[in-house]
Amino acid sequence: MKKKIDFLFAGVGGQGTILTSDILAEVGLRCGYDVKKSEVHGMAQRGGAVESHVRWGEKVYSPLIEEGEADYLLGFEMLEAARWPHFLKPGSVALVNRYRIMPPVVNLGQAKYPEEKEIETILSGAGARVVWVEGAAKARELGNLALAGVVLLGALSSYLAEPAEVWQTVIEEMVPPKFKELNVKAFFAGREAKL
């Protein structure tokens, strides 16, 4: 009997949440889980807030996670991560990329971007453990900011029992061929980071 694990991805349109969550779904399938995932394409992708739901389990019905049920939050952007405490389960883990993209209202000086401490308070208020991941910094070191999501995925993998080889194979199969090596590097940078 496989344990149910629910993963919520939050980020900004264009950050690669869709590909990264597709990889996670495929890893689940290869490891014998029933898998469902859901997200919204279209209008929201033009720089708006986006979210993806990935669910692993023995038998999964709904592609959407229920409020208060997510085991892991993968925040690709700090403000976006802070939007979802109501989906988190007590004892869950929030892996948050230390990276800010200012929304228009903040750019215009009409609202304040929350402090790191506030974000921590919001997420831990739901009983989640907040883990900051230097995804953006690592990705920049590798020369491509778009790799930050795979760094996050690497960090997530260190909490799960599935073997590294499965992750690596799936990543190699699913990313564009010319970015294969970089993505694998980014994955292990995240997996091996001391969190």
Partner 1 sequence: MKKIMTGNEAFAYGAYLAGIKIGAGYPGTPSSEILYNFARYPGVYAEWSVNEKVALDVCVGAAYAGRRAVMTTKHVGLNVAADSLFYVAYTGLKAGLVIINADDPFMHSSQNEQDNRHYARFAKVPMLEPADSEEAKSFVKYAVEISEAFDTPVIIRSTTRLSHSRTAVNLEEEPVQQAPPEPLAYERNPVKYVMIPAYARQRHPVVEERLKKLAEFAEATPLNYIEAGDDSLGIISSGVVYQYAKEVFPTATFLKLGMVYPLPVKLIRELAERVKQVVVVEELDPFIEEHVRLLGIPVKGKDVFPMIGELSPGRVRKCAQEAGLIPQGELKKVVSAPALPGRPPMLCPGCGHRGVFYALQRLRTVTFGDIGCYTLGAAPPLNAMHTCGCMGAGLGVVHGVDKVGVKDRTVAVIGDSTFFHSGVAPLINILYNKGVSTVIVLDNRVTAMTGHQPHPGSGKTLMGEDAPLISVEEVARGIGFKRVDVVNPYDFRNVVDTIKEHLRSGEPSVIVARHPCVLYTRERYSPYAVNLELCNECGNCLRIGCVPISKVEGGVAIDAALCVGCGFCATICNPKAIYQLGS
Integer CA distances (angstroms), 191 to 31, 69, 73, in order:
18, 24, 16
The residue within the footprint of partner 1, chosen from 73, 94, 126, 152 (CB under 8 A), is 126
Candidates 110-118, 152-160, 161-169, 181-189 — which segment interacts with partner 1 by CB under 8 A? 110-118
Is 36 a binding residue for partner 1 by CB under 8 A? The answer is yes
The tokens of 164 are what? 């590294």
Which residue stretches of 58-161 are H helix?
A: 78-82, 104-107, 116-124, 135-141, 148-157
DSSP annotation of 91 reads E
Measure the CA–CA gap between 167 and 190, rounded to whole angstroms.
Answer: 12
SS3 for 41? coil
Shortest Cβ 188–partner 1 spacing (Å): 23
The residue within the footprint of partner 1, chosen from 5, 31, 113, 164 (CB under 8 A), is 113
Nearer to partner 1, 21 or 157 (CB): 21
> 160: closest CA among 180, 190, 185?
190
The residue within the footprint of partner 1, chosen from 8, 79, 130, 156 (CB under 8 A), is 79
Is 16 a binding residue for partner 1 by CB under 8 A? The answer is no
Contacts of 184 (CB under 8 A, 6+ apart): 168, 171, 172
The residue within the footprint of partner 1, chosen from 1, 108, 143, 178 (CB under 8 A), is 108
Is 143 a binding residue for partner 1 by CB under 8 A? The answer is no
Is 73 a binding residue for partner 1 by CB under 8 A? The answer is no
Whether the CB-CB separation of 7 and 72 falls below 8 Å is answered with yes
Is 163 a binding residue for partner 1 by CB under 8 A? The answer is no
Residues that bind partner 1 (CB under 8 A): 12-13, 22, 25-26, 29, 34-49, 60-68, 79-80, 82-86, 88, 101-109, 111-114, 122, 125-126, 145
